[in-house]
Amino acid sequence: MTRVLVDTLKCVADLRWLKLFEVSYERPSGARGTWSLASRNATPRLDGSPLSPAAVFLVPLLRTPEGTRLVMMREFRIPLGDYEYSFPAGLLDPGESVETTARRELHEETGLTVTSVRALSPAVASSAGMTDESAVIVFLECTGTPHTENCEASEDIHLLVLDFEQMCALRRTPVKFSSKAWLITLLFETVGRLDWPAALLEGT
């Protein structure tokens, strides 16, 4: 045996949007144990098949006559009990492609229209010790006038339309960032302006 074997997968709590599972497994070393995981899936696959992204995470650059702006969001997050500084994001509808979700969520959350998808990450794991959740990071350019009139009433979303200096100042502010947002602002700071890193655009 060279891989972990999953013996049983038991759903211990089944809420509409999130479920908790207990897995019993055997390591290649023979060590046995149990593992807890949260999932939005009715049955987590646990079979090593490709990650099926549940969500898109958008990094939008808005080109304006005054210069390029980064579109971020300040959104109330119940699990934090506070506002989180991050980017537009959302769950894929059943059967929806990553690019379609990206266009829909950008429009719903910011009123903006995608003009160009410049790069996609692979599906990357949010916190693989805890959950099978993954997301594709979509690096895109957009046009329009930002507004939140298309947001659902249940969302408490404030747009941040930032120039480079404002983004740098925000990263130094003691607020709550998503891990991806903090690293992406550091990435743009390292580029030295609001423009795509060369390594990201390879092959496009």
Q: Give, as ranges, the residues between 106 and 165 that touch its own copies (CB under 8 A).
A: 121-135, 137, 153-154, 156
Instruction: Return the residues of window 19-48 that contact its own copies according to CB under 8 A.
Output: 19-20, 22-23, 25, 27-29, 31, 33, 35-40, 44-48
Among the candidate windows 66-74, 77-85, 140-148, 157-165, which touches its own copies by CB under 8 A? 77-85
**From CA 165, how far away is CA 159, in angstroms rounded?**
17
Cα Rg, the chain, nearest whole Å: 19
Give the dihedral sign, CA 124/127/129/133. negative
Q: What does the alpha-carbon distance between residue 169 and residue 60 come to, in Å, rounded to a whole number?
A: 18
Residue of 95, 3, 19, 14 lying closest to 52 (CA atoms): 95
Chosen residue from 58, 70, 72, 86 binding its own copies by CB under 8 A: 86
Stretch that binds its own copies, among 10-18, 65-73, 95-103, 109-117 (CB under 8 A): 10-18
Contact 18, 38 (CB under 8 A): yes
Q: How many residues does the chain have?
A: 204
State how far the alpha carbon of 167 is from the alpha carbons of 26, 34, 36, 163, 178, in Å: 47, 43, 37, 6, 15
Q: Could you tell me which stretch among 2-10, 64-72, 95-103, 157-165 binds its own copies (CB under 8 A)?
A: 2-10
Q: Which of residues 164-193 bind its own copies (CB under 8 A)?
A: 168, 174, 176-184, 186-187, 189-191
Q: Does 77 bind its own copies (CB under 8 A)?
A: yes
Of 125 and 144, which has the nearer Cβ to its own copies? 125
* Min dist. Cβ of residue 52 to its own copies (A): 11
